Structure 1
Amino acid sequence: MTVKIGLIGCGGIAEVHLRGYLQVEDARVTAVCDVVEEVARQRAEMAGGAQVFSTIQSLLAGSDVDAVDICLPHHLHKDAIVAAANAGKHILCEKPLCLTLEEAAAVQKAVSDNGVILMCAHNQLFKPAVQRARQLIEEGALGQVYELRTTDSFYHSFNMETIGWRGHREMIGGGELIDTGYHPSYLLLYLAGSEPVEVSAMLSNHRLHFMDGEDSAQVLVRFADGKVGNIVTSWAYEPTPNTEKFQVVAERGYIYSEAGGDLHYKIRGSEPVTIPLPKTSGFNEEIADFITCVREKRRPIHNEADGINVLKVILGAYQSVAEKRTIIL
């Protein structure tokens, strides 16, 4: 059975997703939707001749897709998810899941009421180093985990003319933290494997002063089992070469990965070990796994419940800065 996909939103990230579907034998993008017809037609041609629609409702009503892939600006996610779920379509949605806890409740209800699968498009979870690290942690190789740090910082060339909707708080939902910063946030929660219970944050606008929101963030998270996590993320600067993608320090040793490639770990009393692993974006693996989830009707690696937990951390960080205190989730 070929899983037929409707691509909703045909901007830059949609091309990355579409290339992923072209690598999966039993999946095909058969419909695309965008308010800019020229862009939609370009994606349709790339997909091999997909139907073109200008609205979500027309795609849902006029195509026979099994699932949709939502690649829209942040503020449009909730309505698109709810519409797709109510139409009985499975859903892959780019991060963030949505922008508020009220929106999250509507998403959760629509997905539950209609019995569809929702997968959060958290591509970095599919990096081999992340999967191997999670395995080592779950196997108890490090003993009790104490602290974790995840990072995603780079010098972004945005300016007033090119930042687009991301420069507006009501569309992006904040600033850099709810965009690129969403990656180290979901990565932190995934590696911690525990419910976040407290959040404290500091936000900065070091360089991109034309933005409504922050261009950099540091967030502390305490988890229910006592672990403490630190998120570092920015569009303002080029990080030092030794900045790790993630690190975990624990009772028996440590584990880390630089740029999400090879995995390094050390157990106390033993020599350090390096596991050579490919450095990938994770997008192709994410798309392939979504298709498998749809075919096998199994729980995705990150579903709406996981997406809501990540959103709680992000919103808690914003509240922490606004109220200058630690937020209890």
Structure 2
Amino acid sequence: MYEKMGIAIIGCGGIAEAHCQTVLGKDENIKLYMYDVDYRRAEFLCKKYNASGCFKTYEDVLMSKDIDIVDICVPHDEHVSVVLNATQAGKHILSEKPIARTLAEADMILDAVKSSGVRFFVAECYRFYPSALKAKELIDKGTIGKPFLIQVNSLQFHTPSGWRRDKEKTGGGVLIDRGIHFVNYFRLLGGKVKTLFATFNHDTISAMEGEDTATIQAIFENGATGQLVVSWGMRMFTPFAWMAVYGSEGTMFDMGDGFYVFSANDPQYNDNGKPVRLFDTMLERYIIPEEMQHFVDRMRDGEEFAVTGEEARADLEIVELAARSVETGRAIDLTNE
């Protein structure tokens, strides 16, 4: 249990700054520190967010008695070494997604976490997106009956910068980077995937090495069909639902501006045959502050994290098997994995 805690952010890029703007940088019982291979970046964030100090080497972070937790915000290819060193030093770990580039790397991390006894949370922010949470609640309540089609979409025109263009550093393309958020969303709504077939395209964003568009067609163990589309290569697109779940008794969807539900059987979700708008969404406005608050709360009360290492590994498995499907041109049966 940690009422007071010292947290060192490892890697002072854009996502680190987003973390600083949450409870990590505002709670008077949290002392925040910075480390980056470029010491000037660590100093910059330290001054900007009035942090307690910055370190010149990662070894200094791990040896410091002031540090209870490392917040890993480094490129994907560095996750394994940074996490393994942290476990050896007995530091608890908050790691940005994905857990790793490959399942083999993820298993190394999980083995080290288990043997060391440290706590490990993967920062999958979409698990805290209001529409995701409400949709899961209503599915479990049976508000729309038996779901038979689940669609999740993320369509953008975006050119990644820096290391995110490098397939070796990221472990792939858009699916392992932005897309793994939506894989988690997909699995939250549909449950375990039984079979999947994937396609990758790399026709628009030539500056990146991996795919700029990925699609997954899935069959969940509950019998529902799933469709996932993630793209950075859409120069223009029609209005689309970030999420839609079609059930035997209704439908729910998120258009990015609000979360809507229609139920044939529940009058509170039926406006004379039209869907009811439950709340404004404004995608991504809430989710990083919510996930950081969740992490701090669970460090203080000792309860389980919403996104465990095993959960993050399951997301990565979908990404890895999607790549295998693309390579083989075949559907993948997960019951044989």
Q: TM-score with structure 1 length normalisation?
A: 0.92
Aligned pair 1:244/2:247, yes or no?
Answer: no
Residue 200 of structure 1 pairs with residue 202 of structure 2: no
Work out whether 1:284 is the aligned partner of 2:289: yes
* CA deviations over 1:192-251 (Å, ceiling 9, x no partner): 2x2223221110012112322111111122222222221111111255352111111112
Q: Is the aligned partner of 1:179 residue 2:184?
A: no
Q: Distance in 2 between matches of 1:294 and 1:224?
A: 33
Q: Residue 264 and residue 152 in structure 1: after superposition, are their counterparts in 2 closer, same or farther (change >3 A)? A: same
Written as runs of structure 1 = structure 2, the 5 A alignment for 1:160-309 is 163-192=161-190, 194-238=191-235, 240=237, 242-259=239-256, 261-268=257-264, 270=270, 271=273, 272-279=275-282, 280-309=285-314
Give, in whole Å, the separation in 1 of the partners of 2:139 and 2:6. Answer: 37
> Corresponding residue for 2:76?
74
- How many residue pairs get matched? 323
1:23–1:56 distance in 2 versus 1, CA, 3 Å: closer
Q: Matched residues in 1 for 2:218 and 2:30: separation?
A: 40
Unaligned runs of 5+ in 1: none
Q: How large is the Cα RMSD of the aligned pairs?
A: 1.8
Change (3 A) 1:34 1:241: same
Partner AA of 2:12 in structure 1: C
Q: What's the secondary structure of 2:42's corresponding residue?
A: helix
For the residues of structure 1 that align with 2:215 and 2:91, how far apart are their CA atoms? Answer: 37
Show CA shifts across 1:258-310 (max 9, x none): 12x42101112643211023432401111111000111111111111110000
CA contact (8 A) 1:7 1:29 kept: no
Contact 2:72/2:93 (CA < 8 Å) preserved in 1?
Answer: yes
Query: Offset of 1:39 from its aligned partner?
Result: 0.5
Task: Give the 3 Å change call, closer, same or farther, for CA 128–239 of structure 1 in structure 2.
Answer: farther
Query: 1:124 maps to which residue?
Result: 126
| Maintained 8 Å contact 2:24/2:32 | no
Inter-CA distance 17–241: structure 2 relative to 1 (3 Å threshold): farther
Q: Equivalent residues in 2 for 1:303-318 (5 A)?
A: 303-318=308-323
- 1:186 aligned counterpart, secondary structure: helix
Mapped to 2, the partners of 1:142 and 1:49 lie a distance apart of 48
Contact 1:176 1:235 in 2 (8 A): yes
User: C-alpha separation between the residues in 2 aligned to 1:22 and 1:92?
Assistant: 11
Q: Deviations over 1:54-112 (max 9, x none)?
A: 43332111242221211110111122222222322222111111011111111111222
Secondary structure of 2:293 counterpart: helix
Match of 1:110 in 2: 112
| Percent identity over paired residues | 29
Asked if structure 1 preserves the Cα contact closer than 8 Å seen for 2:159 and 2:205, the reply is no
2:169 partner amino acid: M
